[in-house]
Amino acid sequence: MSHPLNPSTATHADFTIGYCSNVPPPPPNAHPKWTRLFAAAIALFKALGEDSSMARNNLQTFDTPAADKNAQYFAWDFVYRTIVRPVPLRQTKRGESKPTRTPSGHRITNLIKELHRPRRSVSLSRR
């Protein structure tokens, strides 16, 4: 992106739209598998941000605590901070570098699988 978004004034929707519309092209020597995975991560980030369960959060600034702390929000935040724009490490009191705390990758993976699982039609009539 040419102009970084200000988290104090830009909304969650601004971050989703702004980043997805300004994704830099992959390097010319990037492996095709990496290119596909990165494109899939961006598509996932966009889909999570556009989901109806993000409606209240999308109106808030990025720095404001989420109005609706649902699984969709945590998945959006996880994808943004770990894949789309990794969060820098923070320094502990002892000078060690540690990543900022995010929800369990296992929980996020299960949510993503659930979102993409084909739905079975259920018949209520007995045969």
Residue 4: inside a domain: no
Q: Tell me, what's the pLDDT at 61? A: 92
Structure tokens, 45? 């980030």
User: Which pLDDT tens digit goes with each residue over 117-127?
Assistant: 665 544 444 44
Domain containing 73 equals 12-114
Q: Answer yes or no: is 42 within a domain.
A: yes
- The per-residue pLDDT for 35 is 86
Flag whether the pTM goes above 0.85. Answer: no
pLDDT at 23 over 50: yes
Give dist(CA 50, CA 58) in Å, integer.
9
3-class SS letters over 84-111: HCCCCCEECCCCCEECCCCCCHHHHHHH
Tally of structural domains, the chain: 1
pLDDT above 70: residue 102: no
* Within a domain: 45: yes
Burial class (CB in 10 A: 0-12, 13-18, 19+), 117: exposed
pLDDT the model gives residue 127: 47
pLDDT band at 1 (very low <50, low <70, confident <90, very high): very low
Domain membership of residue 123 (yes or no) is no
The reported pLDDT for the residue numbered 126 is 47
Looking at residue 13, what is its pLDDT?
Answer: 92
Q: Is residue 37 part of a domain?
A: yes
Instruction: Please check whether residue 92 lies inside any domain of the structure.
Output: yes
